Structure 1
Amino acid sequence: MIAVRLPLILLAGLLGLVGCAQYQPVPLYQLDSGNSEVPADKDGVAVLLGPVTVADYLQREALLQRQEDGRLTTTTEARWAGSLAADIDQQLLRQLASRLNSQRLLLAPASPGFVPQIQVQLSITRLDSGPQLPAVLEAQWRLLGKGGQLLDGRLVRKEEAHQGTITDQVRAQSLVMQQLVEELALAVEEFGNATPAVAAEPRKKAPAAPVRKPEAPKIPVAEPIRIDAEVFRF
């Protein structure tokens, strides 16, 4: 029995060693927020961020690589630390709040009682890179005022070169996101700080003097006077 069991034990141990040798932890990545700081102003501009829509192919943990022929392939060397779409939401919120120095930013939908001065609607249709291709961000944003009126809006495309490694590709993708936030912050500052011009009241004209109607000529009334003879005095 011992002679039979020993080879089985050795075989199991060798298989375990082979499995450990093949298993390597996969690096996890997140977008970098740069030098974002926690805003100190609790009374800054009130901004509602969203809805933020992200392309379907970005709503995953797999880190994709854009090939020169346009194909997207999944790399086995790394992946995102969680959902990339959720990471984009949080990066936009933190970076925009820091850039505007305002605590009054919320992701849509708005909480009851929150009245935003500006609403930022954003659609990200592309955010990727490849070993031989730069990081590319394509998006469209719109700014809405209190009454829902369109204040501004643009289609944007931003590119950032990198050195080809996964780490440098994530750095480049983070930079194009930071450039987008910078553009959004400038637009929000322009319209958020603008005060509507107060229309000057027209000068009130002095009330016109009432037009007097011409008086009718007075006709003397004949009055009878009794004397020796009845005469009429005018």
Structure 2
Amino acid sequence: MLRSLLKLGVLGLLSVQLFSCAPAKSFYVLTPEGPAPSGGGMSLGVGPVSLASYLDRANLVFQESGNRMGVAESHRWAGDLEENIARVTATNLGRRLGTGNVRTYPWGSDSDLRYQVSLDIRQLHGTADGEAVLEAAWRVYSLPDRRMVTSKSWSGSEPLKADGYDEVAAAQSRLLARLATEIAATLR
């Protein structure tokens, strides 16, 4: 009996040591350029957002070379990436269009909105060359009739100002701000 308890104790200590050696997880969010304006203005809905399947995961993704992608096991998004992109895009569009009347998908009723912007994110990752890249397509619909007003795509890259995943998320945030500028130009 004593021998069994001793074995369990040793196994318990080994388990604790193994878990304490595991790398700590870091969590990241994309951020808008600043707060959305308050008050009225054009009513706009952002979403749904669809992601390329390689991005539909909790981990940050980076391009190691050519066609080889890597997944940062200890570096994760702090929540749903689609929702984060929709929220950041909505805030950035609100700033550019001077409206605080922006919602993210899903919303209750189309009747209160003038436009809907849906996004297809085809690429969003860091590269071994020290950049973040974004390729996206978007469609703008007038509401409530759901008539497509425009359909466009955009791609860009943003240099990383420093090494590390914090800067990858910051550069991706800057890319989303540039995308919002492009989208806002079609809504003016």
93, 117, 120: which is aligned to 1:120? 117
Q: CA deviation at 1:37?
A: 1.3
C-alpha change, 1:52 and 1:9, in structure 2 (3 Å) is closer
Report the counterpart of residue 45 of structure 2 in structure 1: 48
Measure the CA separation in 2 of the matches of 1:173 and 1:50. Answer: 18
**Counterpart residue type for residue 184 of structure 2:** A
Report the counterpart of residue 140 of structure 1 in structure 2: 137
Structure number with higher strand proportion: 2
Report the counterpart of residue 92 of structure 1 in structure 2: 89
C-alpha change, 1:118 and 1:110, in structure 2 (3 Å) is same
Q: CA deviation at 1:139?
A: 1.0
The secondary structure found in structure 2 opposite 1:156 is: strand
91, 101, 105: which is aligned to 1:104? 101
C-alpha change, 1:8 and 1:49, in structure 2 (3 Å) is closer
Q: Percent identical across equivalent pairs? A: 25
C-alpha change, 1:150 and 1:16, in structure 2 (3 Å) is closer
C-alpha change, 1:48 and 1:82, in structure 2 (3 Å) is closer
**Counterpart residue type for residue 50 of structure 1:** G
**Counterpart residue type for residue 45 of structure 2:** L
Larger Rg: 1
Please list every run of at least 4 consecutive aligned residues from structure 1 whose deviation after the TM superposition is greater than 6 angstroms: none
C-alpha change, 1:14 and 1:142, in structure 2 (3 Å) is closer
Whether the 8 Å contact between 1:132 and 1:164 is mirrored in structure 2 is no
| TM-score, length-scaled by structure 2 | 0.81
Measure the CA separation in 2 of the matches of 1:130 and 1:143. Answer: 30
Measure the CA separation in 1 of the matches of 2:103 and 2:66. Answer: 40
| TM-score, length-scaled by structure 1 | 0.67
Q: CA deviation at 1:104?
A: 2.1
Report the counterpart of residue 29 of structure 1 in structure 2: 28
How many residue pairs match? The answer is 186
Report the counterpart of residue 152 of structure 2 in structure 1: 154
Measure the CA separation in 2 of the matches of 1:30 and 1:178. Answer: 14
**Counterpart residue type for residue 75 of structure 2:** A
**Counterpart residue type for residue 44 of structure 2:** V
| Residue segments in structure 1 that go unaligned for 5+ positions in a row | 191-234
Report the counterpart of residue 214 of structure 1 in structure 2: none
Q: CA deviation at 1:123?
A: 1.6
57, 62, 72: which is aligned to 2:54? 57
- Larger RCO, structure (CA 8 Å, separation 6 or more): 2
Q: CA deviation at 1:27?
A: 0.7
C-alpha change, 1:106 and 1:9, in structure 2 (3 Å) is closer
C-alpha change, 1:175 and 1:11, in structure 2 (3 Å) is same
